[in-house]
Amino acid sequence: MPILKIPTPLRPYAENQSALTLPGEIVEEVLEGAVETYPMLKKHLFNDEGKLRPYVNLFLGEENVNQLEGLKTPLSDGDTLLIIPSIAGG
Amino acid sequence: MKIHIPLHLLDQIQSHGENAFPNEGAGLMLGQEENGKRTVESLLFLENAREEENQHNRYLITAEDMLLGEKEAARLSSSILGIFHSHPDHPNHPSEYDREFAIPWYSYLITSVNNAEAVGSRCWRLEDDRESFSEEIIQVISN
């Protein structure tokens, strides 16, 4: 199963775990599994319309999945998916 | 809540804000959190990735730079504790835009820079409900 790495700020919403092993054949399924298992994660990953918040980025190894197939990017057993926030403000 | 920062690092943060003026400057604070006590140990100065014409009141740290930050933190056996940025000619209080894009847990240190001179820094953390910030007291560690 793929592994989802949780950044430090979001660990309190996932029982302080740094990595979750979740079923899923594409990125979207792994994220859905994460928020089903840890509902507190949801409001920090998704906005009220159910879309990924703009600061949430997903990397498969060194590659941003936006450069691959986005949420439909296929995952293999043992792949590591990283949640990396981008930071904006004013 | 307190965040402990060595004086020389706070000076560097404020100088960075002055050098970025009239634009916003930003970077990462790396360090340790143990039993709720945060101590900044090093800084990572980053490019403001916003388009040039908006850098006077906006900043952006890209995911690629955050990935670099995570790697640097791992190399130093530390963590990204938070983000510093400057407010040119504005108070060191989070803006509504800051709140909209903020992430809980991180410390957001804001330096007010008036006419290219840093006049004070305050630090903030977003509440879990994302509705407001609470101030985190900056405890300066003498060199």
Residue A71's domain comprises: 3-85
Q: Which chain B residue lies closest to A45 (C-alpha atoms)? A: B103
Q: Tokens 């709720």, residue?
A: B36
- Tell me: the pLDDT tens digits for A11-42? 999 999 999 999 999 999 999 999 999 999 99
Q: Note the pTM of the prediction, 2 decimals.
A: 0.89
- Cβ(B103)–Cβ(A9) under 8 Å? yes
CATH of the domain at A52: 3.10.20.30
Pairing of strands B2-6, B133-141: parallel
Average pLDDT over residues A36-63: 91
- Confirm whether A58 is domain-assigned: yes
- Confirm whether A20 is domain-assigned: yes
Domains, in order of start, for chain B: 2-141 (3.40.140.10)
Put simply, the answer to whether A87 touches B57 (Cβ < 8 Å) is no
Q: How high is the pLDDT of residue A70?
A: 94
- Confirm whether A70 is domain-assigned: yes
- Tell me: the pLDDT tens digits for A64-73? 999 999 999 9
Q: Which chain B residue lies closest to A90 (C-alpha atoms)? A: B58
Give the ipTM: 0.83
Our count of domains for chain A comes to 1
